[in-house]
Amino acid sequence: MKDDAQASTTAATGYRGRLAPSPTGHLHLGHARTFWFAAERARAAGGTLILRNDDLDTARHRPEFVDAMLEDLRWLGFAWSEGPDVGGVFGPYSQRERLPLYRAAMERLHAARLIFPCAHSRRDVLEAAGAPHEGAADDEPVYPKQFRPAKDAPLPPLWETSGVNWRFRVPDDEAIVFVDERCGEQRAVAGRDFGDFLVWRKDGVPSYQLACAVDDAAMQITEVVRGADLIKSTFRQILLLQALGHPAPQYFHCPLMKDENGVRLAKRHDALSLRALRERGVKPEDLLREFVASEAAERGA
């Protein structure tokens, strides 16, 4: 742990779950349901719930969304015992304040030659990747093998190389398998279902995959509860956790909420933001009752 500049050496016990919202817009009904799942899983296990502020998205992050996010979560009645507002031994709990940990992880990946710099633009990658793969709209394209440097090519120093993205070299053809607590066995083949993925962006910001894996390990999260849209990310994070020598937590990917047209709810559905619902007189207990009922119906179906 010596190289993890701020990592806590505290050993936690029992179930540790987390809520990990990104302050890039107002939370909506879909987030509320995902967080309800996470809070319920922690409560049922008599565990600890942590709030992590995933504020690394420099382009879309707005400070007022952080306050709004905390207020909306409190309005829903969720309580957390560690977080940016209450502190805790595994802090800081805002990702922008955790850069030394992400840098330390990068240094380990670099020393193990598991990453490589990539000067290709997103457009180059998209064009060379060819036909979009399933779920491409919100996922990285499979990185074209022809862009990958040879395994034994000299690796430039990590922090002296500006203007390049760093990617994790996935173990080709290796099957990654995990048993999801909600969705059952999940399997993906590295290099086919997903490719060499981004770990550090050329603007100096760690990728979601890296930050999430590092934090879940450092905060000793035992179960990650999140939307099913992130199942593919889980395979990548499992590879990162393995590479960094951390055990993977358990995963529970919950079903995503759709609007009346079958489109997944997103922050653009302003009418379903928790603020808009609150203004229309909706009470948190109405929402929670809905979540319980829809889950019971789904489980019973």
**Contacts to ligand GLU by CB under 6 A:** 20-22, 54, 212, 226, 230
Which of 197, 199, 241, 240 lies closest to 220 in space, CA to CA? Answer: 241
CB neighbours (10 Å) of residue 182? Answer: 13
Give me the least distance between CB of 226 and ligand GLU, in Å please: 4
Residue closer to ligand GLU (CB basis): 125 or 230: 230
Place of tokens 């805790």: 88
Give me the least distance between CB of 14 and ligand GLU, in Å please: 20
Residue closer to ligand GLU (CB basis): 110 or 226: 226
> Omega of the bond prior to 92 within 30 degrees of 0, cis?
yes
Residue closer to ligand GLU (CB basis): 61 or 226: 226
Give me the least distance between CB of 152 and ligand GLU, in Å please: 34
Give me the least distance between CB of 47 and ligand GLU, in Å please: 16
Residue closer to ligand GLU (CB basis): 114 or 230: 230
**Assigned token pair, 98:** 């955790």
Which of 54, 61, 230 lies closest to 139 in space, CA to CA? Answer: 230
**Assigned token pair, 257:** 């909420």
**Assigned token pair, 50:** 């942590």
Exposure on the CB side of residue 31, measured as CA atoms within 13 A: 25
Residue closer to ligand GLU (CB basis): 32 or 118: 32
Give me the least distance between CB of 2 and ligand GLU, in Å please: 27
